[in-house]
Amino acid sequence: MGIDFRLDGKLALITGATRGLGWAIARTFAEHGAEVALNSRTPADCEGRAEELTAAGHLALACPFDVADLDACATAVRGLENRHGGVDILVNNAGVIHRESLPAFSDADWARVIDIDLNAAFSLSRESARGMTAKGWGRIINIASIMALVARPTIPAYVAAKHGLAGLTKALAVELAPEGVTVNAINPGYFATELNAALIADPEFDAMVKSRTPVGRWGDPDELAGAALYLASNAGGYVNGALLTVDGGMTAAL
């Protein structure tokens, strides 16, 4: 039979899908046969990316909503079920980071990061899992971070959320696997995306990343999309509860 990386006939909902890692994943999934539902808070961005994919002969639709609004998450998943037969592959990619010293870190900033980076993943996974288990097949992929394994100063909410996302991945993996649904996480290292533009432009930070990463460079988003494709496809069907780190070796080095 060979190794099957195709996603034909599958509907993939990808949050934060209009730029960076999310866009690379969405484009790769579409190129391998999936219909992709592109999410962000901005309808025009979702529609523009969907048009870009359909113009290239792929299947795509705009799915704008704010992942911090848990009611909107549930409504979006129900809408995809009613109009498109339900979500087969969920990629919880949307995320934010807030940098501040601990004494100045506000409750509101803490709550915002936790809501977007962790609570939304739980809500969307719960809603999507209902349809997946009914069909006996599904994939949930959480985009965590190397900050699910280690930590840096001034980002306590982000580190806590990503550690929580790693735990959520394992909890859902053991619960949903008997129903035909696998749940895994990817821990990206430092990738050259719009989100990291300011860090890339900072000579000191750029040098730190390159010197501490054994491959000596920032990652390309397509290098993460390949890992997501593997976990989403039948090729990765026996991978469950895994935290796949894609960081050029940074967390392997002392």
Enumerate the domain spans of the chain.
11-233
Q: Summarize pLDDT for 92-142 with one digit per residue, the tens.
A: 999 999 999 999 999 999 999 999 999 999 999 999 999 999 999 999 999
Give the right CATH number for 11-233 from 3.40.50.1370, 3.30.70.980, 3.40.50.720, 3.40.50.2300: 3.40.50.720
What letter represents residue 30's amino acid? A
Task: Identify the pLDDT of residue 150.
Answer: 98
Q: Are β-strands 59-62 and 181-188 bridged in parallel, bridged antiparallel, or unpaired?
A: unpaired
Q: In the chain, which ranges are continuous DSSP H helix?
A: 20-31, 43-55, 70-84, 107-114, 120-135, 156-176, 197-201, 203-212, 221-232
- Specify the residue for token string 């009611």: 71
Active site residue 190: no
Tokens found for residue 199:
């860090």
Residue 2: pLDDT band with limits 50, 70, 90:
confident
Tokens found for residue 122:
């739980």
Average pLDDT, the chain: 97
Contact 111, 119 (CB under 8 A): no
**CA nearest to 34, candidates 59, 17, 57, 55:** 59
Tokens found for residue 59:
């299947």
Q: Phi and psi (nearest 5°) for 191?
A: -115, 150
The CA distance from 141 to 207, in Å, is 31
Q: What is the CA radius of gyration of the chain?
A: 17
Task: Identify the pLDDT of residue 115.
Answer: 98
- Taking the CA atoms of 252, 174, 230 and 37 in sequence, report the sign of the dihedral they define: negative
Q: Summarize pLDDT for 38-51 with one digit per residue, the tens.
A: 999 999 999 999 99
**80, burial (CB in 10 Å: exposed 0-12, middle 13-18, buried 19+):** buried
Q: Summarize pLDDT for 169-208 with one digit per residue, the tens.
A: 999 999 999 999 999 999 999 999 998 999 999 999 999 9
Task: Identify the pLDDT of residue 226.
Answer: 97
Tokens found for residue 100:
């501040």
**CA nearest to 91, candidates 33, 51, 144:** 144
